[in-house]
Every structure is written in C-alpha cells, then in structure tokens.
C-alpha cells in the first residue's frame, strides 16, 4: 500500500521538491535550441500560475484545457495549473475542432492554455473560452504576462484525492471517455513503475514520441524524469531519422515510444546512433518478439515492453531488466495485481486465455459515463485485452477482447495473424479483423500494405495465404486479403481495427 499525506499537491511534490533536493541548476527541459534548468521551469511555472490566478481568475477546482505539441511552455503550464489547484484537461494537439468540441462538452473547461499554432481549431470548437496563448514570439501573451510577475507561487494545499487530471481516451468505438486521476495517482505511477521498473537516475536524458496529451507521454516525458532529477529532450514532431540523430547527438539514455517507431528506427539503418540507450520502453500496443529480437540484435538494447492504459494512468504489467521473455508483456509491476478471468469473472488456469483484470493504486474513474460499469467490476479494471498468464507469472498478449475472431467455432486473434503476415518479406503492415461470412459466421480478413517493389494481385494473395498457413495453425489463415496503401491509425499510432471491421462488414 502506498501512503501519501492527506494534503498533497503532485506538482509541488514533483517540481518544488526536486529543486529543493537537487538545486535548480540541473538541466531539465531540452529542445533543439533551448535548455531550461529545473530552476527555470519552477520560476516559469510559478509565474504562469500567477497569470492564471491573477489575470484569468483561476480558482482551485477550475478546469484548464491544455493544447499544444511537446514544448517546455506546455510543461510549465501543466505545473502551473496543478500548483494553482486547477485540473489539467490534457488533449492531443492534432485533434480537429469536432473532436475538441466533443471533449470540451464532456470536460467543461473554465479556460484554456494553448500553443499559438493551435488556437484556430480551439476557438472554432469552443467559442468564447478564455484562452492564454503562448509561443507567438514577441507578441507572446504568456511570456509577456509572466515576465511581469514575481517569481514564487505557493502551491495550493490540495488533498491527495483531489482530481488533478482529466485525460480523454478514444476507446474502441471512437466515442471519447474522460478518465479522472487524483494528485496521488500522479505520484503512484512513479512509486510503482518508475521506481521498480524504470530506475531512472539524475544523469539520464529522456526522449520520446508520445504527446503529453497521452498519459504514456505525460508519465514517460514529465513525471518519471522529473521525479529522478533527470533531463528530457522534448521533440515536437519526431521522424525516425531525426529521432535517431537526436538520440546520438543529445546522449539520450531513456527512450519512450511505441513498437512502430522501434521498427522504423531499425529501418533508418542508424543502429550505432542507438547504442548509448540504457532503457527503451515500448507501450501502446503489443511489441512482437520479432521486433524485440531485431532491435536487440542491431543495438544490443533490450526493449522493455509494458502495457498501460489511460484508465490506469500508466504501465501496470511490464518486462523487467535481465529477465525478459521476448513476445511477453512481462509481469505485474509491484503495487499492482493482475488476473486473467473468464466471461463470468472467474480466474482461468495458467496457460488459458481470458480477460485481463487489474487492480492497484490507480484505477478507472470515468467522468459521467455508463461505460464505468463495463470497465470496473468488483474493484478490478477490465482492460478489454485477452491475455494468457504462464506458470511463472509472465503475461502474454493475445488480442483486444473485442478483436477475437470466431470462425467455424475456432477462436482466432487478429494480431496473431498480423504478426504471421509481417514475417513475410513483402509485407510492411497488416491489419486483421473478422469479416461476416454466411458459412463460417466470420472469416479472417487481412488488410495488407506491401513494401515498395512488391506487387499486389491474385498470385500475391495465394502466396501470403500459403505463407500464413506455414507460420500459424492453418485454420487461422486469412481467407480474404485486401491490399491497401495504408492502415487507419489513431494519433497514438494504434491501429484502428474498428474501422477495418466496419469496412469488412460493408463489403459482404
């Protein structure tokens, strides 16, 4: 059991405490052109808190929508809102006005802090929302106002159970859900995953791709590095080449990104640029054993797979250093418990597939949403994933529970078929879903993106089908294959299988 004081402000516990412990001179936030020390961040966060409270009338409990790519001022704004007792409504900056409007209707923000390049869609979505704009050079409202403020801002003495964060998640259907997290939750992810798995040190330099509007990014690029007194390289828009170069040039030791980027980093051919990495974290979707092995062979680095979700804030099952089984997500992070349950909520024996259920210091609290009932049962969070636990407590990802394809009574996991297809040299990407079928109820349908130079056609279909039958049980092979130019992916890079399912359903 983690114990926190009744009065707890997570922003002060992270930032003020770090400056008190290590001094303010350590590098904290790095960009291509700037370095902010811990002292710089604290001063700017405090001055921003003064702008929000003195000029915009923010009072504790107010909700502040944050919108912008990963930059130091976005981090300063996040700390300012929380130190002032506000609630940070973190959003993905690439959302369009329709999506922002939907989030604003659910979260009812009192004001916004927005990067100057992203104000148009915000004001179109929420006309009249008081907005503090930053990043516009000399006309910059936030910088102009904050420089006129005194340094120092006493953190509001929030309770450990006050809501700190409203984090939206798209869910499988595309209708957003808003998850609420308390001040203590922000520290709990560090006291579990951060402490026991990551083990960051003050000399570490973090970098990564997830936006701070995604809790994977907020944890990996703000909470964990700052708890350790480490530095973070903030990248607004990472390309594989740019990321590989930055890792070498800035001596990055700790990388947070998703499986797709690990593949892409390998494809740059810049493996030697990655050799200085000490810790690589992969989350967001399953990390196939083949990618883990390729990355290890090329760089010598053992990627740590871990599953997290917005509902639990961060990672609760993770690989551990020196005891990695490639293809497995790992074991429960100390502080969490996980079980594999059948449809009635009873544990299934080790080795059998079932629904993943998790409990621990963080948990799902949807804001006004009927889906809370489906996600939390008896204190267990049902993540919507199908897993197998082995006798040693390692968890093996099978599929999203709702991706399971049932064909002629056989249970087939789409991702398993995808991984089989990905082992074919001509296949760049694959998305596999159920397509309705009068005879078999469903058949396995694959959407395939071929590599440059490979050509689609009936011959290729038969070749891939034969290949799949060699790689996995023949009944799992894709009876239907459609060649496409790209697969639908969400802002976090996750394959949007529901869109493929919709398309497959329409074509029958």
Neighbours of 129 (CB within 10 A): 16
Residue 158 interacts with ligand 3UK (CB under 6 A): yes or no: no
Residue 401 interacts with ligand 3UK (CB under 6 A): yes or no: no
| Shortest Å, Cβ 389 to ligand 3UK | 14
Q: Could you give the CA distance from residue 277 to residue 254 in angstroms, rounded to a whole number?
A: 6
- Tallying the residues shown for the chain, one arrives at 508
Binding mask 325-364 for ligand 3UK (x = CB under 6 A): ----x-----------------------------------
Kindly write down the DSSP assignment for every residue of 215-254, as one continuous string: HHHHIIIIIHHHHHT-EEE--SS--HHHHHHHHHHTT--E
Residue 310 interacts with ligand 3UK (CB under 6 A): yes or no: yes
Structure tokens at 427: 């296949």
Using the rule CB under 6 A, give the single segment among 5-13, 38-46, 306-314, 346-354 that binds ligand 3UK. 306-314
- 78 vs 477 by CB, closer to ligand 3UK: 78
Residues 364-383 that bind ligand 3UK (CB under 6 A): 383
| Shortest Å, Cβ 189 to ligand 3UK | 9
Residue 299 interacts with ligand 3UK (CB under 6 A): yes or no: no
Is beta strand 87-90 parallel, antiparallel or unpaired with respect to 63-67?
A: parallel
Binding mask 479-508 for ligand 3UK (x = CB under 6 A): -------------x----------------
Q: Closest Cα to residue 408, out of 434, 444, 442, 433?
A: 442
- 64 vs 307 by CB, closer to ligand 3UK: 307
Answer for which of 133, 291, 309, 432 binds ligand 3UK (CB under 6 A) is 309
Start-end of H helices in 115-175: 119-125, 141-147
Q: How many residues bind ligand 3UK (CB under 6 A)?
A: 23
Which residues, including other chains, have CB under 8 Å from residue 480's CB and lie 6 or more apart? 435, 443, 444, 445, 446, 504
Answer for which of 40, 185, 305, 416 binds ligand 3UK (CB under 6 A) is 305
**How far is residue 488 from each of residues 215, 258, 429, 433, 493, measured CA to CA in Å?**
21, 16, 11, 13, 9
Residue 398 interacts with ligand 3UK (CB under 6 A): yes or no: no
Residue 206 interacts with ligand 3UK (CB under 6 A): yes or no: no
Question: Could you say which DSSP state residue 352 is in?
Answer: S
**How far is residue 124 from each of residues 40, 91, 127, measured CA to CA in Å?**
33, 16, 6
Residue 285 interacts with ligand 3UK (CB under 6 A): yes or no: yes
Give contact residues for ligand 3UK (rule: CB under 6 A): 169, 215-216, 283-287, 305-310, 314-315, 329, 383-385, 397, 400, 492
């Amino acid at each position: 059991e983690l114990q926190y004081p009744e009065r707890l402000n997570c922003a002060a516990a992270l930032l003020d405490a770090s400056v008190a412990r290590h001094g303010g001179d350590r590098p904290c936030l790095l960009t291509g052109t700037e370095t902010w020390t811990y002292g710089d961040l604290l001063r700017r966060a405090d001055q921003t808190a003064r702008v929000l409270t003195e000029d915009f009338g923010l009072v504790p409990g107010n909700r502040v929508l944050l919108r912008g790519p990963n930059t130091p001022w976005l981090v300063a704004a996040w700390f300012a809102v929380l130190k002032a007792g506000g609630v940070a409504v973190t959003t993905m900056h690439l959302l369009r006005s329709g999506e922002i409007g939907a989030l604003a209707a659910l979260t009812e923000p009192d004001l916004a802090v927005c990067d100057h390049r992203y104000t148009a869609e915000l004001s179109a979505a929420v006309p009249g929302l008081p907005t503090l704009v930053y990043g516009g050079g000399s006309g910059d409202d936030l910088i102009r106002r904050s420089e006129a403020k005194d340094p120092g801002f006493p953190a509001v003495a929030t309770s450990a159970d006050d809501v700190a964060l409203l984090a939206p998640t798209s869910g499988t259907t595309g209708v957003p859900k808003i998850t609420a997290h308390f001040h203590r939750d922000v520290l709990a992810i560090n006291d579990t995953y951060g402490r026991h798995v990551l083990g960051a040190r003050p000399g570490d330099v973090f970098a990564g791709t997830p936006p701070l509007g995604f809790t994977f990014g907020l944890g990996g690029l703000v909470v964990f590095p700052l708890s350790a007194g480490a530095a973070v390289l903030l990248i607004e828009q990472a390309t594989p080449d740019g990321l590989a170069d930055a890792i070498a040039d800035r001596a990055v030791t700790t990388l947070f990104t998703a499986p797709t980027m690990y593949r892409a980093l390998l494809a740059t051919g810049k493996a030697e640029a990655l050799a200085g990495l000490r810790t690589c974290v992969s989350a967001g979707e399953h990390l196939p054993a083949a990618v883990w092995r390729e990355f290890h062979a090329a760089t010598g680095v053992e990627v740590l797979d871990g599953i997290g979700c917005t509902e639990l804030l961060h990672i609760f099952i993770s690989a551990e250093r020196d005891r990695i089984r490639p293809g497995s997500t790992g074991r429960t992070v100390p502080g969490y418990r996980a079980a594999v349950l059948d449809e009635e909520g009873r544990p299934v024996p080790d080795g059998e597939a079932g629904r993943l259920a998790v409990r621990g210091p963080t948990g799902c609290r949807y804001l006004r949403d009927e889906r809370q009932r489906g996600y939390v049962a008896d204190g267990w969070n049902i993540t919507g994933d199908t897993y197998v636990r082995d006798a040693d407590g390692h968890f093996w990802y099978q599929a999203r529970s709702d991706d399971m394809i049932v064909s002629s009574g056989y249970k087939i996991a789409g991702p398993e078929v995808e991984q089989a297809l990905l082992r074919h040299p001509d296949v760049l990407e694959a998305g596999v879903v159920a397509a309705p079928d009068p005879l078999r109820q469903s058949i396995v349908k694959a959407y395939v993106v071929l590599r440059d130079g490979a050509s689609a056609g009936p011959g290729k279909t038969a070749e891939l089908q034969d290949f799949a039958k060699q790689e996995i049980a023949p009944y799992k092979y894709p009876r239907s294959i459609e060649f496409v130019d790209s697969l639908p992916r969400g802002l976090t890079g996750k394959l949007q299988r529901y869109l493929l399912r919709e398309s497959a359903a329409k074509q029958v």
